[in-house]
Amino acid sequence: MSFCSLLWEPALFEIIVQSLFEHLSEWKFDFRSCTSVQREAQNDSVKMVGAEFDEKCLSQYDSATLVSHIVESCKLSLNVSLLSQNLVAKHYSRGKEVDVLEAMARAGQLGIRVPCIRRTVERDNDFYIIMERIHGQTLEEAWKHLGWLTALRLVFQLRRFMRRMREVTSSAAGSLSTGMCRSFWLEDFYKLPCHARPEAILAFIRFWLNFVPLSRRKASVQPKKEFRSKPQPPLVFTHHDLAPRNVVLDDKRRLWLLDWDYSGFYPIYFEYASMHNFSVPENWGWADRLCWEIFSWISVGCFSKQRKALEEIRPRFTRFPLGRKNEVLLDGAPSNAVHLRKPGM
């Protein structure tokens, strides 16, 4: 007799149901958080899985219990969980978190308002950063109701942040700790090597500006597009994702910068292009769009030609991610052999 058929035996089924209800009677359910809470704590220990999370005891939780609370908590987005009224937890794959922590620490040292890191915790290949929750509205939510005068006051806050960040420079591109280039403007299959030189970024952009797939190439020579970026300035500390969803305005009219996942050393014009990397809300009118354009220009500078070039190449390398194979890999190397790169590529 199969296991499933055994479950449908009346006597056995009755025993299982009775046992189940006996166990359920020892639990109460909190429908607001959708998590079960055991009625009696075992020796009042915060190690008990299923207990309500207490942010005052954050440092006392063991890693397994803390991860359990994070997993069971309400999701604000795919990777962000609302751990408590004042704490959020963000999930990272192993290795990426070191760059985020380094970037946020460096930004804090520069006087830029970033969430305070309260604790980190890891399990297997998962890593969580627990940080304070910034109460307020994102600029995406508040923008339509701010008014020009308020926006003008805020833009100089952001401008000060950017000027401080741009004082931190590097001769190599990539994140602050590992040097990995995680820019979504440089994201074809082969990407760039760690600690890439500025010339590699220019070569990447120029290649994709002039890229034509084999199926569309003609016998006639295509006019070559130039990408001018001279003189070549040093790479600067860049947030890289200053879309209005990542800038929070608190109750005291102070700006906070969230989501440092893509931060690193990149060309100065990346910040301007990235401030326009979002879907404009449907309720934004032409005045709201114009105000954001001016806000971006004053806060990080205007680099319209560079932005246009970056926005032009992104759909190309997204559709043809292997297009740079012959430029990057050694002759005869398979398309997926990213380790067989030409020197400097």
Q: Which of 267, 197, 237, 193 is nearest to 99 (CA)?
A: 237
Give the domain range for residue 252. 137-328
The answer to whether residue 14 is domain-embedded is: no
Do 187 and 116 belong to one domain? no
- Give the per-residue pLDDT at 328: 85
The answer to whether residue 337 is domain-embedded is: no
Do 283 and 165 belong to one domain? yes
- Give the per-residue pLDDT at 224: 66
Do 104 and 145 belong to one domain? no
Do 198 and 300 belong to one domain? yes
- Give the per-residue pLDDT at 32: 33
The answer to whether residue 341 is domain-embedded is: no
Do 210 and 143 belong to one domain? yes
The answer to whether residue 11 is domain-embedded is: no
The answer to whether residue 8 is domain-embedded is: no
The answer to whether residue 340 is domain-embedded is: no
Tell me, yes or no, if the pTM score tops 0.85.
Answer: no
The total number of structural domains that make up the chain = 2
Do 161 and 209 belong to one domain? yes
Do 145 and 253 belong to one domain? yes
- What are the residue ranges in the chain where pLDDT is below 70? 1-51, 215-224, 226-232
Do 316 and 188 belong to one domain? yes
- Give the per-residue pLDDT at 98: 96
Do 146 and 267 belong to one domain? yes
Do 182 and 319 belong to one domain? yes
The answer to whether residue 5 is domain-embedded is: no
- Give the per-residue pLDDT at 174: 97
**What CATH number is associated with residue 70?**
3.30.200
- Give the per-residue pLDDT at 229: 62
Do 228 and 296 belong to one domain? yes
- Give the per-residue pLDDT at 226: 67
The answer to whether residue 153 is domain-embedded is: yes
Do 41 and 70 belong to one domain? yes
